Every structure is written in C-alpha cells, then in structure tokens.
C-alpha cells in the first residue's frame, strides 16, 4: 500500500467518526429540552461537521476518495442512546453520558493515528487541533453533567 493511501485510509477512519459524532450531536440536540444544552449540542455538531470537511479536503489532496457517511456501529449506538434516553427519568444526564462516551472513543481514534510520527506536518497540526477541541468538548460535557445531576 502506498503511503498516501495509508494516510487517506487513516483520515477516512476519522472522517467516519466525525460524521457519526455530528449525527449523534444532532440527535442529542433534538432529545434534550434545556435550550442551553440544545445549543451546546448544535455547536458541537457544527464543529464536527467542520472537522469532517477539513478531513475530506486532505483526503482529496492525497488523490483518494473520502467516505460519504457514518458507520453502522455508530448508527446502532445512536439508536441505543435514544432508547436509553426514552427509558431514563433524567434524559439530559443520559444524553451527556452518551456524548462523553462517544467523544472518548473519538479521542482514542485520534490518539492512534497521531502515534504515526511520519504524518505530514499540516495533517499532524490539523489532527492535534481537532483532538484538543474534542477534549475541550468532553470537559464541557462533564461540567454540564455535574450541573444537572
């Protein structure tokens, strides 16, 4: 496998995760009643959509074809989170817990790719910036969770 293909494959993995996160946040925004939390989730969805756009550009730059949508596993997770929320008495807390869990999985994926110390500098910077934003979102979600519990 060529190096450019290898990089594109790794970026496609992150692209799928970002599609999944964007959809998850949009579902979360629809689920909660609190207007501030709703806006928080919508902002996270926009952010993850922006991450996906940046990843698509890099994949195209390497002459590869970006993925078009999220994963089956994430769709199942979102459906489970919706069901769990409907059964829970405090849905905002459950939604936040699921968002945190999903973001922690995203961090693992970013960490795995960032282990490759041979990434082109532009991609390394982009991925580190996205990773920091995901970590900041987790920190914010944990604060929100503490406030509502």
Max Cα-Cα span within the chain: 52
Most confident of 1-5, 17-21, 97-101: 17-21
Residue 85 has pLDDT above 80, yes or no: no
Place of tokens 């996906």: 52
The tens digit of pLDDT for each residue in 115-124 reads 988 889 999 9
Domain 3-148 indexed as CATH 3.40.50.300: no
d(CA 121, CA 83): 42
pLDDT at res. 18: 93
pTM, two decimals, is: 0.82
Q: DSSP letter at 117?
A: T
The tens digit of pLDDT for each residue in 45-71 reads 999 999 999 999 999 988 888 887 655
Sequence spans of domains, the chain: 3-148
Query: 26 near 41, Cβ under 8 Å?
Result: yes
**Average pLDDT value over all residues in the chain:** 83
């Amino acid at each position: 496998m060529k190096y450019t293909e290898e990089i594109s494959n790794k970026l496609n993995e992150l692209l799928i995760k970002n599609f999944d996160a964007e959809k998850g946040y949009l579902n979360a925004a629809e689920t909660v009643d609190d207007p501030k939390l709703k806006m928080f989730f919508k902002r996270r969805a926009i952010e993850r959509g922006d991450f996906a756009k940046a990843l698509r550009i890099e994949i195209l730059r390497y002459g590869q074809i970006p993925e078009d949508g999220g994963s089956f596993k994430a769709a199942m997770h979102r459906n489970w989170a919706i069901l769990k929320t409907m059964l829970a008495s405090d849905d905002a807390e459950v939604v936040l817990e699921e968002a945190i869990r999903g973001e922690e999985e995203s961090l693992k994926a970013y960490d795995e790719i960032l282990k490759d110390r041979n990434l082109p500098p532009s991609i390394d910077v982009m991925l580190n910036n996205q990773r920091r934003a995901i970590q900041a979102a987790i920190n914010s979600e944990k604060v929100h969770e503490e406030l509502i519990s």
